[in-house]
Amino acid sequence: MIEEITNQLAILGHPQRISVFRMLMRRFPDTVPAGELSSELGIKPSTLSNYLNALQRSGLVSQTRSGTSLLYSVEMKNVQRMLDFLIVDCCRGRPDLCMPFTQGGDAMTDRKFNVLFICVGNSARSIFAETLLREIAGDKFNVFSAGTQPNSKLNPFALHVLNEKGHDTSVLRSKNISEFTGSDAPEMDFVFTVCNQAANEECPPWEGQPISGHWGMVDPVKATGTDAEKSLAFQNAYGALKRRIEAFTSLPVESLDRIALQSAVDDIGRTPSEEMT
């Protein structure tokens, strides 16, 4: 086992290989096309192929095929084995000695939880998520959303869908993520990315180590065609997010420990969005 772990650590010791691994970790539980990894990380396809092959041989990354596309994802069981070895064996079961924060197994306290949804523009998907969670379970959650772009505005198709569904849109505005990273910002309990590009970006560290999830889905803003076809894309995004948020609000947040909650959040994100519309 030691030989296997040392090989994995050696593979991750290369700066570009670990950058590939980190992006796949941020996108977990998604599978990511090789072309997207190459584009986002600025790595030539031939070079990226060598890095991915090394990560596959180490057992940290797996490959699947969809048509002509090669898709990659983290092999989480093997990643957990590697981390367990480091924490349980090397640290003699003392994570407090090896880690700067406590990965507690305690249940979350009985209080109102802060939730942040992140997208690139904060114009549609994250706005849908903010509105839905606030109206479905505003008694349990303080809900926020933000975008990673410096400037954005609410999408008119998104506002039309929300108004059509009877939601109050008067409280909505497009916000930048910088509003939630200052010393006076609320401490987040949950942070969700709802688009792939936001998950790919380097996000700021969050105080308190919130539970994070990636619920990526197709961007309705990029829909083409007639206004009716564009509106349908926004309706589909709204429906997919509604089902995911309903699944999230059904979780017994107060009684589950952090590990169980993280697993449940990942399971929700693992369901393809097209199956939820």
Looking at every residue in the chain, the average pLDDT score rounds to: 85
What is the Cα–Cα distance from 240 to 235, expressed in whole angstroms? 9
Q: Please report the pLDDT score of residue 199 as a whole number.
A: 57
Confidence at 165, pLDDT banded by 50, 70, 90: very high
Give yes or no for residue 259 having a pLDDT over 60.
yes
Give yes or no for residue 142 having a pLDDT over 90.
yes
Q: Alpha helix (H) ranges present in 138-190?
A: 156-164
Most confident of 41-45, 84-88, 149-153, 203-207: 41-45
Q: Please report the pLDDT score of residue 276 as a whole number.
A: 45
Indicate the residue type of 258. R
Q: How far apart are the first and last CA of the chain?
A: 44
Summarize pLDDT for 213-233 with one digit per residue, the tens.
888 888 899 899 999 999 999
Mean pLDDT of 243-260: 89
Domains of the chain and CATH, by start: 2-93 (1.10.10.10), 113-276 (3.40.50.2300)
Q: Please report the pLDDT score of residue 216 as a whole number.
A: 85
What is the Cα–Cα distance from 202 to 111, expressed in whole angstroms? 30
Q: Please report the pLDDT score of residue 273 as a whole number.
A: 54
